[in-house]
Amino acid sequence: MIWNEPMECMSRDQMHDLQSRRLKDMVVRVYHNVEFYRKKMQELGLEPGDINSIDDLVKLPFTTKQDLRDNYPFGLFATPKSEVVRVHASSGTTGKSTVVAYTRKDVDIFSEVVARALCCSGVTKDDIVQVAYGYGLFTGGLGLHYGAEKLGAAVVPISGGNTAKQIMLLQDFGSTVLACTPSYAAHLAEAIVEEGIDAATLPLRVGVFGAEPWSNEMRAKIEEGLKIQAFDIYGLSEIIGPGVSNSCQYQNGLHIAEDHFVPEILDPSTLKPMKEGSTGELVFTTVTKEAMPLLRYRTRDLSSLDYSPCACGRTNVRMAKIFGRSDDMLIIRGVNVFPSQVESVLLEIPEAKPHYMLIVDRQGTMDTLEIQVEVDEKFFSDEIAQLNNIRNKIKHRVESILGVSVIISLVEHKTIKRSEGKAQRVIDKRKI
Amino acid sequence: MIIKQLSVFLQNELGRLEEVTDILYKHGINISALCIAETAEYGVLRMIVSDIEKAAEALKEEDFSVKITNVICMETPDIPGELHKALQVLSAQGINLSYMYGYSNGGTARLILKVSDPEKAIELLK
Ligand SMILES: [Zn+2]
């Protein structure tokens, strides 16, 4: 089912016109109401009248997370504070968090796009949606909550953590949809086995997972573990929160709500547009948001765009599953390494569990990459030679994918911390 | 005689071995033989214990990875050449020895051997 057919299935020409009209209106609003953007545009010699269609997007200035921090907390508001009905903030790992704001209309758009995303995942008003994303300043919990309500589903606002209770409610309430981070879903799948519960007996049928990059192999593993169909929901608080895009049943990318959020793919080093299908940094312009519209926000997420029609009937552009973050990218002896690559390899090796930690260090002038991997109990052997075989197999496979030599350390079952939110996968001990 | 051996995966962390012995002690399990094989990063503790099922359960409960394997226990007179003779018999019949450990006391030596075919090895050593 498609939630909003007129907006999700229009022709590319119609979308071009709609985005153009909305962009022109948005540029006028930010130019007149946000000093930050007015200055930036003036520096580039731009006036609102120079923007006549979505093709002029490339002329506009960028926005970065640092710009949000510099204007903390309310410096980028484009409406009077009295129009704001909600704020969210992202937890900054360093320094100040970034604040985002919503007018009543923005909150409605947020619910609308999440409802579309859920519908895209096959969720209907008959479902019971267990929202195990954190509620609070993070957009995940409330975002899914209002979207599921808009769809007409029953919401179980359990928030993140408390695994025993999550499992109890999956059984007692018979939740049919689970929304959380993929790493937490993997954790729940393990915990369900430990409780001696057969996942096939749970009414749970759909997972809507996001807020961190995850691989297709991870999806297969979660689908197998929880006996569900798993969908990818993408979003970031700066743009609106979850619901910016979502995968459909054909699992060939995530349909972007591009009537609200116009995507571009840029080369992260030159910031020039890349040709369709290339992998680069995903950049969004929020053409309808009122309280805090952003021009060309650099997400740091790496993806690609596909404008070809999808078998599901939606014509909205599809972005490839996030490949990694340009921030997460580790440069090891000059080679770009993404934690997600390591994850995909581990998921293909039955002897290893997809719980891992990358430890980057520097010995002399040489970078070292140690990967701690938990050995699956079933493959533990009393013979050192067998264990070394497992280690060498992992080492060989990882090195062939990453293109750098690595140290594989086999660690005890359950020693790598399980996360209930975003997984911490990298420790970089290099002092640069 | 074929007996069951309990192996435990140990990260090379001080105190991990002590945790194992503590768990076994608390469950009243006696260790009659023990050997640790280690590499630079991890080790494998192998033991012959009084109640192997109980010991394995107790360790699993504490998230240790454990494995139960068949090994052979061989008793020989504690005189030069006895072990050599036994090993010759095994290798002549194509039985591989993965590892062994043991001790001698009061004129007899008791050895624990991990071999590729425990049943056949026992027959040969009779
Ligand atoms: Zn589709």
How is chain A split into domains, by residue range?
1-327, 330-428
Centre of ligand 1 to C-alpha A120, Å, is 8
Is A1-327's fold the same as A330-428's? Answer: no
Domains of chain B: residue spans and CATH? 2-69 (3.30.2130.10), 70-125 (3.30.2130.10)
Which residues of B are less than 8 Å from A378 in CB distance? none
A64 φ/ψ angles, rounded to the nearest 5 degrees: -120, 170
Residue A91's pLDDT band (cuts 50, 70, 90): low
Q: To the nearest whole percent, how much of chain A has pLDDT over 90?
A: 72
Centre of ligand 1 to C-alpha A11, Å, is 15
* Best residue in B36, B38, B42, B113 for a mutation probing chain A (most A CBs within 10 Å): B42
Does the beta carbon of B113 lie under 8 angstroms from any beta carbon of chain A?
no
| pLDDT 10s digits, B72-95 | 998 888 888 888 988 999 999 999
Query: A283 versus A268: which is more confidently predicted?
Result: A283
| Closest residue in chain B to residue A386, using alpha carbons only | B98
**Chosen CATH of A330-428 out of 3.20.20.70, 3.40.50.720, 3.30.300.30, 3.40.50.300:** 3.30.300.30
d(Cα A76, Cα A29) in Å, to the nearest integer? 12
Mean pLDDT of the A176-192 span: 95
Task: Mark yes or no for CB contact A380/B98 under 8 Å.
Answer: no
Percentage helix, strand, coil for chain A under 3-state DSSP, each rounded to 5: 35, 25, 40
Residue B126's pLDDT band (cuts 50, 70, 90): confident
| pLDDT 10s digits, A356-399 | 899 999 888 888 999 999 888 888 888 988 899 999 999 999 99
DSSP, residue by residue, A188-209:
HHHHHHHTT--GGGS---EEEE
Q: Which residues contact A146 (CB under 8 A, 6 or more apart)?
A: A107, A110, A111, A114
Which residues of B are less than 8 Å from A387 in CB distance? 9, 39, 42, 44
DSSP secondary structure code for residue A60 in this structure: S
Centre of ligand 1 to C-alpha A309, Å, is 8
Out of A382, A388, A412, closest to residue B69 by CB = A382
pLDDT at residue A323 greater than cutoff 80: no
| pLDDT 10s digits, B15-47 | 788 999 999 999 999 998 999 888 877 889 999
d(Cα B64, Cα B49) in Å, to the nearest integer? 16
Does the beta carbon of A386 lie under 8 angstroms from any beta carbon of chain B?
no
d(Cα B108, Cα B117) in Å, to the nearest integer? 24
Which residues of A are less than 8 Å from B41 in CB distance? 409-410
Task: Mark yes or no for CB contact B67/A380 under 8 Å.
Answer: yes
Does the beta carbon of A381 lie under 8 angstroms from any beta carbon of chain B?
yes
pLDDT at residue A252 in the model: 94
Does the beta carbon of B65 lie under 8 angstroms from any beta carbon of chain A?
yes
- DSSP H helices in A122-200: 139-151, 163-172, 182-194
pLDDT at residue B76 in the model: 87
| Sign of torsion over alpha carbons A141, A143, A146, A150 | negative
d(Cα A84, Cα A293) in Å, to the nearest integer? 13
Task: Mark yes or no for CB contact B37/A384 under 8 Å.
Answer: yes
Does the beta carbon of A414 lie under 8 angstroms from any beta carbon of chain B?
yes
Centre of ligand 1 to C-alpha A312, Å, is 4
Does the beta carbon of A50 lie under 8 angstroms from any beta carbon of chain B?
no
DSSP, residue by residue, A305-349:
EE-S--TTS--S-EE----EETTT-EEETTEEE-HHHHHHHHHH-
**Range in A72-86, A277-291, A326-340 the model is least confident about:** A326-340
| Cβ-based burial of B18 (10 A; exposed 0-12, middle 13-18, buried ≥19) | exposed
| pLDDT 10s digits, A410-419 | 888 888 877 6
pLDDT at residue A336 greater than cutoff 80: no
Q: How many contacts, defined by CB atoms under 8 Å, are there between A and B?
A: 51
Chain A, residues 78-107, CB within 8 A of chain B, namely: none
Mean pLDDT of the A225-231 span: 97
Which residues of A are less than 8 Å from B69 in CB distance? 382
Class of domain A1-327 as given by CATH: alpha beta
pLDDT at residue A320 greater than cutoff 80: yes
Strand partners, A161: none
